Amino acid sequence: MSFLEKPVPGRLLLYDTDPLTAVIEASQNLQSHTVCGISLPLPPKKLIGNMDREFIAERQRGLQTYLDSITQHPLLSSSLHVKKFLDPNNYSANYTEIALQQVSMFFRSDPKWEVVEPLRDIGWRIRKKYFLIKNKEQPKERYLLSWVSTIQRQYMFYLLTSGNTSYLCPLLFFSTSESSALLIRPFSERGSLRDHICKVKPTENYLKKYCNPKKSQGLELSQIKLYGRQILEGLKLLHDGGVFYGHLHASNIIVDDGVCRLVDVENAMLGVPSALRPSFTQFRKINTTQSIDVFCFGHLLYEMTYGRPPDSIPVDQYPTVPYTAVVSVLQSILSTEACKSGMPKVSDLRPVLNDSHIPSRLKEALKVAKESLEKRLQEEQRVLHQHRRLTKAQSHHDSEEERKRRKTLARKVGKGHKHTIQRRLNCSSGASSPPTCPSSPTSPSTTGMPACLSICLSFCLSFL
C-alpha cells in the first residue's frame, strides 16, 4: 500500500516491507525443497517412530525455527512465494500479467518503442516489473522500462524530466494512470552499485545475485570517498529542491564512467514504501525525510566498506578496516547513541552548494506529501512504542519469577488474614468468659443486659 493512499474501511493497511511472521498450527508430509544459496535449519526426518509425540513436538519446534529464519531474512521474506504462502489473501494478484497488459497498451499508442525482453525478477519489489526495450529510431540503444502499481501524482515528475543533473539518473519518459505508472530511463549495462560490489550480472534473478554472493567485496578507500561525496551531493540537490528520497541503497545507485547517479527518485513521489522502512521505523528520532536519507546513506556506506549490508541496526562493533575516517562516519549514523539522539545533516557530512529552481506548485505538492509521510511515520513509531511497552509488561507478568513472587505474596496475605481472624476469635472468647480479675472494667453498655446478649454484642464489636 502507498503512504499517499487513503485507508479504505474494512481493508487491511499493508506495506510490502512489513515483516511477516509464521506459527505452525498443524503439520502435513510434503516433498523436500531447496532454497537459493542459503543454509536454513530444516529439521531432519525419520522413517520409524515418526508419529511419536515427542518427535512430532521436536520437529514442530525445528520447523518453527526454519520459518523464523525465512521471515527474518531481508530478501527471502520479501519474495512473492513467501508472501503468497504466509498471506495468500493480500498477494493473490498476478502483477506480471497486469504489467504485460498495460505495457502492451502503451506500445500500441506509441509504436516507436519495442520490447527486447522482459527482465524477470531482477528486483525484489512485488508490484514493480522491468522490461528491456529499444527505440526503433535508435535500434542500438537499450532502455529500461519499469512498471509500478501504486498511487501517484503526475506533476511531481517535473524535476526528474526537466533536465539532466550530474548525480540523478534522468527519466526519458513517464506515463501514469489511476493505479500505476510507467517509466523509461537509460539502461546501464554494468548494473547497479550492488551488482558491482557482489560482482554479478545485472539481469540475473535478484535472489541468485544477492542472497549468498560468493565474490562480494568492499570498495577501495578512494572509491568510497568519491562515490560517497557524489551520493551526498545528489541528496543535497534533492533536499535543496524540497524533494524527499527515502530509497537510497546500493541497488538504486548506477555508476557510469566513475560517476554515481541516484535511481528511482520517483519512488517516494509514487508512495512506494522504503526498503529500509522496518529498520528506521523503530527509532523515534528518525522522524523526518532528511533523517531517513542520512540513515539510508549510513546503511549504504557500510555496504560499500564491507561488501555486505549490516546484519542488524544499530551497529556498535565494526570489523577491522584501515579506513578510520569511514568508521567514524558510520558511528555517527548507525551507532546506538546516534539512532537514539538523532541523525546528522547531509551538510555536516559533506558541504555541497547547489541551487535548483522548482516551480511553486511542485514545491507545495512536495511539501504536502513530505508532511504526510512524516506524520504517518511518527504515528507508526508511536504505535510501535506502545506495543513494545505492552509486550514487555505482558512478558514480565507471565515470567516464572513474577508468578513465584505473586504466589509468595498471596501466601503471606493468606497467613496474615488467618492470624487476624484467630486473634478476633480469641478476643470474642475472652469476652464471653467471666472476668477473673476484680479490677477488670465492665462495659457500661452491657450492664444490666442478659449474659447471652452481652456475649453476642461483644463478639460483633470485635469485628468492627
pLDDT digits (tens, 9 = 90+) for 290-315: 999 999 999 999 999 999 999 889 99
Of 3-17, 292-306, 391-405, 415-429, which has the strongest mean pLDDT? 292-306
Q: Is the dihedral of CA 302, 371, 266, 359 positive or negative?
A: negative
Estimate to the nearest angstrom the gap between the alpha carbon of 244 and the chain centroid: 19
What span, in angstroms and rounded, lies between the C-alpha atoms of 183 and 450? 105
What span, in angstroms and rounded, lies between the C-alpha atoms of 340 and 313? 12
Distances (CA, A) of 57 to 54, 124, 254: 5, 35, 50
What is residue 141's three-state secondary structure? strand
Instruction: Report the pLDDT value the prediction gives residue 363, as an integer from 0 to 100.
Output: 63
pLDDT digits (tens, 9 = 90+) for 164-216: 568 888 888 888 887 888 999 999 988 999 999 999 999 999 988 998 888 89
Residue 347 CB neighbour total at 10 angstroms: 14
Query: Can you list the positions of beta strands (E) in 319-405?
Result: none
Indicate the length of the chain as a whole number. 464
Residue 223 identity (one-letter amino acid): Q
- Name the pLDDT band for 128 (thresholds 50, 70, 90): very high
What is residue 195's three-state secondary structure? helix
Fold category of 95-393 in CATH? Transferase(Phosphotransferase); domain 1 (1.10.510)
Q: Tell me, what DSSP letter sits at residue 254?
A: E
Share of the chain above pLDDT 90, in %: 24
